[in-house]
Chain A
Amino acid sequence: MKNLIYIFFFFVIAIATAQPQGTILVGGIAHLGTDSVIQNSVIGIREGKIVLVANELSSYNKTDYAEIINVSGKHIYPGIIAPNSTLGLTEIEAVRATNDFREVGSILPNIRSLIAYNTDSKVIPTIRSNGILMAQITPRGGLVSGTSSILMLDGWNWEDAVYKTDDGIHINWPRMQTRKFLDEDNTELGPYEKNKEYIKQIDELKKLFSDAKAYSQVEKPEEKNLRLESMKGLFNGTQTVFIHADYVKEIIEAIYFAKQNMLKVAIVGGKDSWMVTDMLRENNIAVVLSRVHDLPQRSEEDVDLPYKLPYLLQKAGVLFCLNNEGDMEAMGTRNLPFMAGTAAAYGLTKEQALRSITLNTAKILGIDKTAGSIEVGKDATLFISTGDALDMRTNNIEKAYIKGNSIDLNNDQKILYEKYKKKYGLK
């Protein structure tokens, strides 16, 4: 009874102080990330959440919002998510001291990217200002590289930037063919050769997973095993296994492995995935697709194969998203929207292309309940571009929100630009 009174009082106060709250974006072309577009949209943001997604003609009350922003003619997009990224784990690739994405050893599920993520990396603001607002920060190397986490690209420290802690474990599927260094300096790679260790490495993986499964069922282990401890989430459905594999036979092997272990799995890379789309679809396995702006692996392949790979998976009904692993990956993450643009030039619709860097990504990373699209109830992580954000010709981000907070879109590069414009007296 006493409690009820408190509640009553609370309501009274709330009504008494009822003031406009949050922000409403009015008149923009909203690309929801769900394949839908609302031409003259209204989008309401309150307490970090999207509370309104509607056509301007529908009934809503502007005065409910403290801030009304007219974005007519501009484009609104859900924040782009960069999966499988080393952002914040590296500053300058060639300077070893700035690299924190690779650990010694080959089975390292307990290695966590989260705690090495540097929110103050100078690279991050240059990524953010192109519309990429979240990323799955992922360690590299080894057979089991470690555990990734999903972070928002704004925050004082990793603790408040984290969106989903320890979301997945990353396996580099053993190569059936390997390359050796020809020289002592380890700079010169030789031709592909059959990996004689393949069976051994697969057995190692199998054992690791069966051990981890058994361990996860032991309530109080005799001795705590950090590796196996870190894999518990795989067996209660809270974590995903990301298996990095490109060659078609390796993909098939990885799929069987996933089936046998009843794991939630996504393939990362999947350059040959177009050959096994039926298998992927039937087993509900998604693909975090390798860089769209890449060369075909084999000279006989279609010249535009990497460009149209997203379309081939879309057509076959395989869930996929785009990523940018490879050379200069961290700084190049800012080109993720343009990779989606290229995919749109080669078969996808523009909205499908957008989805492949937003909602699809969120689904694959297991955060689509709260992120990845502009839908009521989801986090207000979105941005406004004056033009089509998937085309470098028109991509121009004016404003971006992460969980409803308008973020700083300036970066060191813009500062240098302004500085030298001033030096030369340019406008």
Chain B
Amino acid sequence: MRKIGLFLFILLSLSTGISAQQTFPVNGVINKNHLFYTFTNARIVVDPETIIEKGTLVIKDGWIVAVGEKIEIPKGAVIHDLKGKTIYPALIDPYTNYGMPEIKAVSRGRHPQIESNTKGAYGWNQSVKAEIEANKLFIYNDKLAEELRKMGFGAVLTFHRDGIVRGSAAVVSLGDARENELIIQDQAAAMFSFDKGTSTQDYPSSLMGAIALLRQTYLDADWYKKDNTKKEYNISLEAFNNLQELPQIIETTDKLSALRADKIGDEFKINYIIKGSGNEYQRLDDIKTTNCKFILPINFPSAYDVEDPYDAMNISLAELKHWEMAPANLFAFEKYFIPFALTTSDLKDKKDFYKNLRKAIGYGLSEKQALKALTVTPAELLNLADKLGKLKSGMIANFIITSGNLFDEKTIIYENWIQGNPYKINDYAFVDVRGIYDFSYGKKSITRLKIEGEPEKLKATIVIDTAKIPVTIGLLNNLVSLSFNYRDSIGTIRLSGSITTEPLRISGNGQTREGEWIDWSAVYKSAIIPETKKDSAKKEIPKPGQIIYPFCAYGKPLDDHDGFDKIVNDFKNRYNAILIKHVTVWTNEQEGILKNQDVYITEGRIVRIADNIDASKLAFAKIIDGTGKHLTAGIVDEHSHIAISNGVNEGAQASSAEVRIGDVINSEDINIYRQLSGGVTSAQLLHGSANPIGGQSAIIKLRWGKSPEEMKFEKADGFIKFALGENVKQSNWGDFSTVRFPQSRMGVEQVYYDYFTRAKEYEVKQKAFIALPDKTKAITPPFRRDIELEALVEIVNKKRFITCHSYVQSEINMLLHVADSMGFKVNTFTHILEGYKVADKMKAHGAGASTFSDWWAYKMEVKDAIPYNASLLNQMGVTTAINSDDAEMGRRLNQEAAKGIKYGGMSEEEALKMVTLNPAKLLHVDNRVGSVKVGKDADVVLWSDNPLSVYAKAEKTIIDGLIYYDIEEDKKLREDMQKDRARIIQKMIEEKRGGAAIQKHVHKKQRLYECDSMETNYMEE
């Protein structure tokens, strides 16, 4: 053992001796020594798993030479006796912007900016900054370094936090030296996000656009790498390829975005390290399945101002619950065995670091895990486990010396050694002055002085009976100064003194307000016993309430008593089978409306519809009495923009076929529940109408509580939004939106011809390339995959279908011509308010219509819109639906359908089909939903009355045979929610009385999307 140690000495002294040469000239005499520094008799935490109770640490030239119980101290070593003290590896923050230049927000011009503003041979998008290298930008920053050193950090990852691709990060030490000596790893990680940062270029203008940009960039980089001809030289792609070998870190701002990042990772075979946001506990099962490692923040929301009940109403349940549960996030990760490192980066005040860490430990996080997340894990994530994170020979001499357990409130960090250089934090002679003292000054008799708080931030008070007088306290080494206003005096009494120990005593002189000199003394009497901890002698993990799915109002807890236990089956509380008795069934089939029927549902399907089904044999089924009630197929909303995160339009370019609503489904949108209460069971979530070729839509079932992926309608065909008219030519976007093509209906046609021509050529080339023999392929320039054109190729090949926003007959006619001549079909015209004028042409083409019941007069192109439109189209044999395009109307689609009776005299059955069977047909899901038919999905609604009546209410909304909305359960949810809110509010008030920080609430109102909603700051939503 000893021999090995010595051998290492020699080896290391040699190697470090060589590396100590330098290029810089020195002004004066070189002040370098190659001494050994030894630290003896210390408790050494080698790593979270290994502790040497009494050991020695030897370092030389910034490197650890030996660690162990019995280490021979080399001759001529500087010896530090650390009896009673503890050495920890210095902490590592894997996510900082330390030493980076300030990022200045650049104001966008008033005109659209279509191209990148970055001059030079860079890529096309300004937010792809792959060429940025943190090591080249890094400049030592004394203030920030000191702040982090005081907390015990020795090295950090730092990067330029700007853009979607942010280039490479460097690992730097927090020492005070020339930058050349501080950079530990120049290319340590590749950095990504979904936030375009200071880029002034319009694209991407939405989260789904950011995701598409990242995906296309991966494909472009791959193509670029393989292309030997290099006809295009591209700095950004060149740099992007160079990043690929590094650890890949992506920043997310929400649990759902973490899942989104993982999805991209899966596509390109990258296992991202995800910088989390702190709310991952809200969907931990899904987070777990990403198999990603995380970097987690340690900031928790502070309590809100809730004393005023009216103001408190504006604080959402999600915000209240998050306040209560956020400190349990780290514990949840530990419990689920998801690896994570910690970062201070999101802390507003870095001083909260230990306080919050202790809070997390109080919520169940183990100290071992906490230490691991600050040392070993970040080192591993950054592939620096051989250099940082532990105290082992051969590693960088980054360590801290403390008075005891790092996570203990009373512990003091004395020194932080970085690359072998000491940074003093607190004097070894530091005396913990916190406690209760007998205090006297001048002629005043003895009172009590209380000194408490963090060593950095002491707080003192004089206590006389129940009165408390605040005292300003200053402490420097052994010198103490106090000043205060005594209750019967107007001026300030100022005292200065020094500390003597054993027994602890502070004494000295001072001046009264009149300038008279007096003596004073404070004699230590006892330690402060924290009031709150009095009762809880045994450490109890606070119960932070229940997780609800989704994590917002009307979310429901699963069968989950412990908070984070994995749910095997959340159907436990639900019925596997339902029998509805004596109900009027609107079949939407040839049978029409059947009275007094029994409907049996099980395993997600409609199994039987009959006059009388014997309930006695179906003991396990939930029996619902349907007497006087009506059962219909669930409502299908062909045109909806609910449940979408951060932008519904990627409108910066004439085509955005590459973006996918499916990437940004927001499972936590309260409007899902609200629409369930109106009988909606499925919806097509559409891209907006900002451009002629919009994005790909997502068809979902409104499975409230499920994750975004689980909400998707299984095996549904792919759809895409097209749009015509005023929105795509930006007529109503203000006087500056006159740049982007097209600006007229004439231009819209050309967009289609251009894109479809290119898409067809693309397909031909792609097929030809794929068909090449392998040998030829190897010497042929590679084929560049284009996700935008691929979406269009799918249309031509009838694998993706168009829903086209349209109003005026001329443009409808135009698109029919384009489609016929280019060989594709328009599946559905949506809005289509002048459809009645060209119903015959639509019928001939085979296009369907999804329209509003009675909207008009909101813009020029709807001047001729009439409420008889749906009826006329229907009579002309066009498959016609009535849709919402509006979160409010989406929950009254039955009423909107009923307008078909008023305007144009539809039969009631036909009117109901406008919102059930017909939209199901338009979405190609009529084999699954849209009618009450044996074998179809049990997506049905039980109504209190004729479903077309204004007086009807949806009482139960059933999807896949499961009751997702129940008018009775709804009452209970409201009560539970009120109780939960009240409970948390009480807790919050208590915590505030205990002196916790508070925040004023800013009432966030949810943005509702319609077709022409545009985001410019999509990350701020």
Q: Say yes or no: B674 contacts A295, CB within 8 Å.
A: yes
Residues of chain B within 8 A (CB-CB) of A249 are 310
Cross-chain contact B1005 with A331 (CB below 8 angstroms): no
Of B736, B857, B1002, B1017, the contact of A91 (CB 8 Å cutoff): B857
Cα separation A106 to B974 with both chains bound (whole Å): 41
Task: Check: B1016 CB closer than 8 A to any chain A CB.
Answer: yes
Given contacts A95-B860, A188-B1015, contact A338 B974 (CB under 8 A): no
Closest A-B pairs by Cβ, 9 of them: A341-B950, A94-B859, A192-B1003, A299-B670, A299-B553, A417-B868, A331-B857, A413-B866, A345-B951
Which of the residues A91, A345, A392, A413 comes within 8 Å of B868, measured between beta carbons? Answer: A413
Contacts of A94 in B (CB 8 A): 726, 731-732, 858-860
With the chains together, A391 CA to B898 CA distance in Å? Answer: 9
State whether A299 touches B1016 (Cβ < 8 A).
no
A-B contact pairs, 27 of them (CB 8 A): A92-B860, A93-B859, A123-B857, A182-B1016, A183-B108, A183-B1017, A188-B1015, A189-B1007, A191-B1004, A191-B1005, A194-B1000, A248-B310, A293-B888, A295-B888, A299-B316, A300-B313, A300-B316, A303-B554, A331-B856, A338-B950, A342-B892, A345-B950, A391-B951, A392-B895, A413-B866, A413-B867, A424-B876
Q: Tell me the A364-408 residues at the B interface (CB within 8 Å).
A: 390-396
Cα(A426)–Cα(B970), bound, Å: 46
Chain A nearest CB from B728 CB (Å) reads 14
B1016 to A188, Cβ gap below 8 A? yes
* Cα–Cα distance between A338 and B854 once the two chains are bound (Å): 13
Q: Are B1016 and A345 in touch, CB under 8 angstroms? A: no
B872 touches A420 (CB 8 A): yes
- Chain B, range 946-996, C-beta contacts under 8 Å to A: 946, 948-953, 970, 974, 977, 981
Q: Name the A residues within 8 Å of B1008 (CB-CB).
A: 295
Contact A338 B895 (CB under 8 A): yes
Q: What is the minimal beta-carbon distance from B198 to any residue of chain A, in angstroms?
A: 15
The interface residues of chain B lying within 8 Å CB-to-CB of A304 are 677
Shortest Cβ distance from residue B195 to the other chain A in the assembled complex, whole angstroms = 14
A94 to B860, CA, bound (A): 7
Given known contacts A298-B316, A424-B840, what 10 new A-B pairs fall within 8 Å (CB)? A92-B857, A93-B858, A94-B859, A179-B1005, A191-B1003, A294-B888, A299-B316, A328-B858, A393-B949, A424-B872
Q: Is the CB of B854 within 8 A of A334?
A: yes
Residues of chain B in range 835-867 having any CB-CB distance to chain A below 8 Å:
836-837, 839-840, 854-860, 862-864, 866-867
Closest to A397 in B: B902
In the complex, A393→B876 CA distance in Å? 22
Is B902 in contact with A299, judged by CB distance below 8 angstroms?
Answer: no
Residue from the set A194, A346, A392 with the largest chain B CB neighbour count within 10 Å: A392
With a CB–CB cut-off of 8 A, which chain A residues contact B904? 417
Give every chain B residue within 8 A of A394 (Cβ-Cβ).
Answer: 902
Chain A hits for B840, CB < 8 A: 424
Known contacts A92-B863, A393-B902, A185 near B1016 by CB under 8 Å: yes
A-side contacts of B837, CB under 8 Å: 420
A residues near B590, Cβ cutoff 8 Å: none
Instruction: Enumerate A30-74 residues with CB–CB distance to B below 8 Å.
Output: none
Nearest chain B residue, comparing its CB with the CB of A304 = B677
Report chain B residues within 8 Å CB of A120.
none
- B572 interface contact, C-beta 8 A: no
Complex Cα distance A330/B855, Å?
Answer: 11
Q: Is A302 located at the chain interface by the 8 A CB criterion? A: yes
Knowing A93-B857, A95-B859 are in contact, say whether A191-B1002 is a contact too (CB < 8 A): yes
Partner of A182, one of B836, B1004, B1005, B1020: B1020
Contact A392 B108 (CB under 8 A): no
Residue A104 lies at the interface, judged by CB distance under 8 Å to chain B: no
CB pair B858–A331 under 8 Å, yes or no, is yes
Cross-chain contact B857 with A295 (CB below 8 angstroms): no
Residue pair A393, B948 in contact (C-beta under 8 Å): yes
The reply to whether A300 and B553 contact each other, CB–CB distance below 8 Å, is yes
Question: What's the Cα separation between A190 and B855 when bound, in Å?
Answer: 28
Residues of B within 8 A of A189 (CB): 1007
Q: What 1/0 mask marks residues of chain A from 331 to 373 whose CB sits below 8 Å from any chain B CB?
A: 1001100100110111000000000000000000000000000
Q: Are A187 and B1016 in contact (CB under 8 A)?
A: yes
Query: Would you give the 0/1 interface string for B674-699, flagging 1 where the beta carbon is closer than 8 Å to chain A?
Result: 10010000000000000000000000
Which residues of the other chain, B, contact A331 by a CB distance below 8 angstroms? 855-858
Q: Which residues of A contact B96 (CB under 8 A)?
A: none
Q: What residues of chain B lie closer than 8 Å to A334, measured between beta carbons? A: 854
Q: Which of B671, B673, B951 is packed against the most chain A CB atoms within 10 Å?
A: B951
User: Are B902 and A392 in contact (CB-based, < 8 A)?
Assistant: yes
Nearest-neighbour CB distance to chain A for B94, whole angstroms, equals 31
B interface residues, Cβ below 8 angstroms from A:
107-108, 110, 310, 313-314, 316-318, 552-554, 670-671, 673-674, 677, 726, 731-734, 736, 836-837, 839-840, 854-860, 862-864, 866-868, 872, 875-876, 887-889, 892, 895, 898-899, 901-902, 904, 908, 946, 948-953, 970, 974, 977, 981, 1000, 1002-1008, 1014-1017, 1020
Say whether A421 faces chain B, with CB atoms less than 8 Å apart. Answer: yes
With a cutoff of 8 Å between Cβ atoms, the chain B residues found around residue A300 in the complex are 313, 316-317, 553, 977, 981
A190 to B1004, CA, bound (A): 8
A392 and B858 contacting across the interface, CB-CB below 8 Å:
no
Measured between beta carbons, the chain A residues less than 8 angstroms from B948 are 393
Q: Which residues of A contact B875 (CB under 8 A)?
A: 424, 426
Give the distance to chain A from B105, nearest Cβ to Cβ, in Å.
Answer: 12
In this complex, which of A248, A296, A413, A421 has the most chain B Cβ atoms within 10 angstroms of its Cβ? A413
Cα distance A346–B855 when bound, in Å? 25
Q: Which of A93, A293, A303, A391 makes the CB contact (< 8 A) with B949? A: A391
Task: Report the minimum CB–CB distance from A385 to chain B (whole Å).
Answer: 10
Interface pair B859/A393, CB less than 8 Å apart: no
Contact check: which of A91, A298, A302, A414 meets B314 at CB < 8 Å? A298
Complex Cα distance, B872 from A188, in Å, reads 38
Give the distance in Å from the alpha carbon of A182 to the alpha carbon of B1016 in the complex. 8
Task: Please indicate the chain B residues that have their CB under 8 angstroms from the CB of A328 in the complex.
Answer: 855, 857-858
Q: Give the shortest distance, in Å, between A397 (CB) and chain B (any CB).
A: 10
Give the residue of B110, B887, B970, B1004 whose beta carbon is less than 8 angstroms from that of A192. B1004
Residues of B contacting A338 with CB < 8 Å?
Answer: 895, 950
> Do the beta carbons of A185 and B734 come within 8 Å of each other?
yes
Residues of B within 8 A of A275 (CB): 310
Q: Within 8 Å CB of B858, what residues of A?
A: 92-94, 328, 331
Q: How close is A277's CB to chain B, nearest CB, in angstroms? A: 15
Can you name the residue of chain A whose Cβ is closest to the Cβ of B314? A298
Q: Quick one: given A177-B1003, A303-B554, are A183 and B895 in contact (CB under 8 Å)?
A: no
Assess whether A184 is interfacial by the CB under 8 Å rule: yes
Once the chains bind, are A344 and B553 in contact (CB under 8 Å)?
no
Q: Does A193 contact B (CB under 8 A)?
A: yes
Contacts of A396 in B (CB 8 A): 902
Assuming the A-B contacts A94-B732, A188-B1015, are A391 and B310 also in contact, with contact meaning beta carbons closer than 8 angstroms in the complex? no
A416 within 8 A of B: yes
Beta-carbon contacts under 8 Å, A252-293 to B: 275, 293
Q: Cβ of B1017: which chain A residues have Cβ within 8 Å of it?
A: 182-183, 188
Whether the Cβ atoms of B901 and A392 lie closer than 8 Å is: yes
Per-residue 0/1 for A185-225: is the Cβ within 8 Å of any B Cβ (1 yes, 0 no)?
10111111110000000000000000000000000000000
Quick check: B317 and A392 within 8 Å, CB to CB? no
Interface residue from A184, A303, A390, A414 paired with B950 (Cβ < 8 Å): A390
A421's nearest neighbour on chain B, judged by CB, is B872
Closest-by-CB residue of B relative to A346 is: B953
Given the known interface contacts A94-B859, A192-B1005, A300-B317, the answer about A184 and B107 at a Cβ–Cβ threshold of 8 Å is yes
Known: A192-B1002, A393-B902, A413-B868. A187 touches B316 (CB 8 A): no
Tell me the minimal C-beta distance from B645 to chain A in angstroms. Answer: 16
CB-defined contacts of A413 to chain B, threshold 8 Å? 856, 866-868
Residues of A within 8 A of B898 (CB): 391-393
A2 to B864, CA, bound (A): 63
Partner of A303, one of B677, B733, B855, B889: B677
A344 touches B951 (CB 8 A): yes
Q: Which chain A residue lies CB-closest to B865?
A: A413
